[in-house]
């Protein structure tokens, strides 16, 4: 029987209209293949598949449900010309990204009927995500019966937040009745980059105060004290906190009541307004894409400049508050599509923080390196830009949980693995984030 370090794990991210996958060999930490089934539920779906050696295919298909999507994933992995396995049994385990674990899960877990019921129960907290995550699990159950499955939750890393950080100032009864509290998301990414930063600093995570900043289409920050997420900017839903591509982030709740009254919006329309028409897109009136915002700003577009300023100002504000709640900060990490790739956003977000001991080195910040220290040598607080790797965390967690379930006595502590024995080779195959 294979040990966790020898397993090949299929990582699945099943969304409403897409299924993303990576097949990772943990022995060499290599992504053997990865791809995307896009437009699930439509007749003009597209399957894209890429092998570790750069071989790529794109197929048009009709993928009407998640069952069919998983059939395609298996078919391309098994394909004679483009695949990487000869038999399904070479898939040792399947790890699923599950968005909402509610208060039920502060850890990844081996999937069984009871776990599926709990994921189902948490649908009311994440109606746009959990149903599809569950469909992915059910499809694997059908097509790979007997293969162990593990659920890795976006919320789990934040479950150790203290009540004073997760409670809202509304009647406590509403927390008890409807579980209304801060949950936080992007937990797998905050976990990964906090551990990676500790490795780069050469210090145990238990001794560090870190601020992690995940800036993608969705954006969130976390205060990671001693390895534990003690606060995070997303809340009951991923709408709260930073300004995002199309989401408003923090706002006075009264605004919603005001707009609903003034504009005669339905609740569904208000939901769309805050989640789809706000953020960078809402302020710029142009785009939710940070690259375009920066190009337009440089071309003199004032609305794009405003959107950029609101975006970076809010990050700066959160850096200040997280340094305050932790009583200091050793390092700040930027990750996600924007955090990894935009020197402009990183520099502007850290502007004026010299009083905290933050000083950015322009040369390092603008360098082409993917994983880099961007602070000056004189900077008391180290600042990093690090590529995130949620798939690797999911694969490692999956292998650890599967091995732990086989030999429970040998793994009493259920500690998550570090990531120290190496990274998945980004150079061989770029992450699709």
CB of 338 to ligand ADP, least distance (A): 4
The correct pick among 35, 83, 101, 218 for binding ligand ADP (CB under 6 A) is 218
Q: Is 63 left (phi over 0), alpha (psi -120 to 50) or beta?
A: beta
Pick between residue 121 and residue 292 the one whose CB is nearest to ligand ADP.
Answer: 292
Scan residues 237-256 and list those touching ligand ADP (CB under 6 A). 245
Which DSSP string corresponds to 119-136? Answer: HHHGGGT-TTTHHHHHHH
The HSE-up count of residue 188 (CA atoms within 13 Å, CB side) is: 24
CB of 206 to ligand ADP, least distance (A): 29
Task: Check binding of 312 to ligand ADP (CB under 6 A).
Answer: no
Pick between residue 203 and residue 298 the one whose CB is nearest to ligand ADP.
Answer: 298
Question: Can you tell me the distance from the alpha carbon of 392 to that of 60, in angstroms, rounded to the nearest whole number?
Answer: 28
Q: In degrees, to the nearest 5, what angle opens at C-alpha 203 toward C-alphas 202 and 209?
A: 125
Pick between residue 69 and residue 244 the one whose CB is nearest to ligand ADP.
Answer: 244
Question: Can you tell me the distance from the alpha carbon of 48 to that of 60, in angstroms, rounded to the nearest whole number?
Answer: 9
Pick between residue 48 and residue 217 the one whose CB is nearest to ligand ADP.
Answer: 217
Task: Tell me how far CA of residue 121 lies from CA of 17, 160, 180, 243, 416, in angstroms.
Answer: 22, 21, 14, 30, 26
Q: Determine whether 289 is an active site residue.
A: no
The correct pick among 337, 350, 397, 402 for binding ligand ADP (CB under 6 A) is 337
Pick between residue 289 and residue 417 the one whose CB is nearest to ligand ADP.
Answer: 289
Pick between residue 308 and residue 322 the one whose CB is nearest to ligand ADP.
Answer: 308
Task: Check binding of 342 to ligand ADP (CB under 6 A).
Answer: yes
Scan residues 291-310 and list those touching ligand ADP (CB under 6 A). 291, 294
Q: What are the helix and strand counts (H, E) for the chain?
A: 15, 14
DSSP 85: -
Task: Check binding of 27 to ligand ADP (CB under 6 A).
Answer: no
The correct pick among 91, 109, 338, 429 for binding ligand ADP (CB under 6 A) is 338
Catalytic: which of 25, 154, 344, 397?
154
Q: Give the range of 114-122, 215-223, 301-309, 351-359 binding ligand ADP by CB under 6 A.
A: 215-223
The correct pick among 217, 272, 359, 431 for binding ligand ADP (CB under 6 A) is 217
Task: Check binding of 216 to ligand ADP (CB under 6 A).
Answer: yes
Q: Is 195 left (phi over 0), alpha (psi -120 to 50) or beta?
A: alpha
Coil/strand/helix, residue 275: helix
Task: Check binding of 276 to ligand ADP (CB under 6 A).
Answer: no
Binding-site size, ligand ADP (CB under 6 A): 14
Neighbours of 415 (CB within 10 A): 10
- Widest pairwise Cα distance in the chain: 65
Q: Give the range of 32-40, 154-162, 216-224, 308-316 binding ligand ADP by CB under 6 A.
A: 216-224
Pick between residue 203 and residue 291 the one whose CB is nearest to ligand ADP.
Answer: 291
CB of 31 to ligand ADP, least distance (A): 16
Question: Buried b vs exposed e over 80-98: b needs ≥16 C-beta within 10 Å?
Answer: eebbbbeeeeebbbbbbbb
Kindly calculate the radius of gyration of the chain based on its CA atoms and give it in whole angstroms.
22
Looking at beta carbons, which residue is closest to ligand ADP? 337
Question: Can you tell me the distance from the alpha carbon of 64 to that of 58, in angstroms, rounded to the nearest whole number?
Answer: 18
The correct pick among 269, 289, 305, 371 for binding ligand ADP (CB under 6 A) is 289
**Which is nearest to 109 in space by CA: 49, 155, 142?**
155
Question: Can you tell me the distance from the alpha carbon of 133 to that of 130, in angstroms, rounded to the nearest whole number?
Answer: 5
Q: Give the range of 83-91, 332-340, 365-373, 408-416 binding ligand ADP by CB under 6 A.
A: 332-340
The correct pick among 336, 390, 401, 429 for binding ligand ADP (CB under 6 A) is 336
Task: Check binding of 91 to ligand ADP (CB under 6 A).
Answer: no
**Which is nearest to 275 in space by CA: 155, 122, 129?**
129
Question: Can you tell me the distance from the alpha carbon of 192 to that of 389, in angstroms, rounded to the nearest whole number?
Answer: 7
CB of 345 to ligand ADP, least distance (A): 7
Task: Check binding of 290 to ligand ADP (CB under 6 A).
Answer: yes
Query: Catalytic positions, please?
Result: 154
Residues of this chain that bind ligand ADP (CB under 6 A): 216-218, 245, 289-291, 294, 336-338, 341-342, 433
């Amino acid at each position: 029987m294979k040990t966790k370090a020898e397993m090949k794990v299929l990582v699945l991210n099943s969304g409403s209209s897409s299924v993303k996958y990576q097949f990772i060999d943990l022995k060499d930490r290599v992504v053997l293949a990865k791809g995307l089934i896009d437009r699930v539920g439509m007749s003009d779906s597209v399957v894209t598949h890429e092998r570790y050696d750069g071989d790529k295919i794109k197929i048009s298909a009709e993928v009407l449900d998640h069952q069919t999507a998983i059939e395609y994933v298996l078919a391309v992995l098994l394909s004679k010309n483009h695949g990487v396995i000869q038999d399904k049994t070479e898939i040792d385990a399947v790890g699923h990204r599950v968005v909402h674990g509610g208060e039920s899960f502060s850890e990844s877990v081996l999937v069984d009927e009871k776990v599926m019921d709990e994921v189902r129960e948490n649908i009311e907290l994440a109606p746009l995500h959990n149903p599809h995550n569950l469909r992915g699990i059910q499809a694997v159950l059908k097509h790979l019966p007997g293969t162990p499955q593990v659920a890795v939750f976006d919320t789990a890393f934040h479950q150790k937040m203290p009540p004073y950080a997760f409670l809202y100032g509304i009647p406590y009864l509403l927390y008890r009745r409807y579980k209304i509290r801060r949950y936080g998301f992007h937990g797998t990414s905050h976990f990964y980059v906090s551990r990676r930063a500790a490795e780069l600093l050469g210090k145990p995570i238990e001794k560090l105060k870190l601020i992690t900043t995940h800036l993608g289409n969705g954006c969130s920050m976390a205060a990671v004290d001693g390895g534990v997420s003690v606060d995070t900017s997303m809340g009951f839903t991923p709408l709260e906190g930073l300004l995002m591509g199309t989401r408003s982030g923090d706002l006075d709740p009264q605004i919603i009541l005001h707009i609903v009254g003034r504009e005669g919006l339905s609740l569904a329309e208000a939901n769309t307004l805050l989640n789809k028409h706000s953020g960078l897109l809402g302020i710029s009136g142009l785009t939710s894409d940070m690259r375009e915002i920066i190009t337009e700003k440089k071309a003199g577009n004032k609305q794009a400049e405003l959107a950029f300023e609101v975006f970076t100002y809010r990050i700066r504000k959160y850096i200040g508050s997280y340094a305050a709640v932790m009583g200091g900060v050793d390092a700040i990490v930027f990750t996600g599509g924007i955090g990894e790739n935009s020197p402009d956003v990183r520099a502007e977000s850290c502007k004026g923080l010299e009083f905290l001991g933050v000083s950015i080195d322009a040369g390092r910040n603008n360098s082409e390196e993917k994983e880099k220290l961007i602070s000056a040598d004189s900077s008391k607080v180290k600042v990093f830009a690090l590529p995130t790797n949620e798939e690797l965390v999911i694969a490692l967690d999956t292998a650890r949980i599967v091995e732990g379930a086989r030999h429970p006595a040998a793994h009493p502590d259920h500690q998550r693995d570090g990531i120290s024995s190496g990274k998945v080779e980004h150079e061989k195959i770029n992450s699709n984030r």
